[in-house]
Amino acid sequence: MSEADTPVSWFMIEPGWEVVDAKGERVGRVEETTGDSSHDIFDGLSIAPGVFGTALYVPSEHVGEITEGRVRLTLTKDEVEHLSEYEEPPTTAEIGPDAAGTLDRVEAALEAPIHARPGGRWRQLIVRLRTLLRRPQR
């Protein structure tokens, strides 16, 4: 097994990595990973099917293998085309006790960070342009 075929952790995935379907056909490039890195919980991927296509969300259960520079899915190309659009997760969440009254909830509200990167559509466009500019010439 060559070094390029050695499986790697989801922590290693970088924007721009190639994403292929179950048969090995290219279906897009990684935009970002989602999950809780402090607890090693991989949630999924945001992938760009093309330069101007809408980012799609691939749940982690559909990620078959991760090797250096490449993510192989367990889905067919047709199934990938029917995935949901990726939605940026909120950067904070309000957590309050269930049994508390409204006033207590307001006073005890806690903002918890959630793994996310700001930027929305502009960030997606910048990531795609950088990916195009860094693409190795063959």
CATH code: domain of residue 81: 3.90.50.10
Is 43 contained in some domain?
A: yes
Is the pLDDT at 51 greater than 90, yes or no?
no
Domain membership flag for residue 113? no
Confidence check: pLDDT of 2 > 70:
no
Neighbours of 115 (CB within 10 A): 16
| Structural domains of the chain, count | 1
Residue-level pLDDT at 63: 96
Q: Which amino acid is at 129?
A: L
Distance CA 56, CA 111 (A): 28
Whether residue 12 is contained in a domain is answered as yes
**Res. 92 pLDDT band, cuts 50 70 90:** low
Residue 80: pLDDT band (50, 70, 90) is very high
Q: Is residue 104 part of a domain?
A: no
> Does residue 100 lie within any of the structural domains?
no
Question: Which residue segment(s) compose the domain that 18 sits in?
Answer: 3-88+119-134
Please report whether residue 93 resides in a domain: no
d(CA 66, CA 39): 19
Whether 111 is covered by a domain: the verdict is no
Task: Count the helix, strand and coil residues of the chain and give each as a percent rounded to the nearest 5.
Answer: 30, 35, 40
Whether 113 shows a pLDDT value over 90: the answer reads no
pLDDT tens per residue, range 15-43: 999 999 999 999 999 999 988 888 899 99
In this prediction, residues 61-81 reach a mean pLDDT of 95
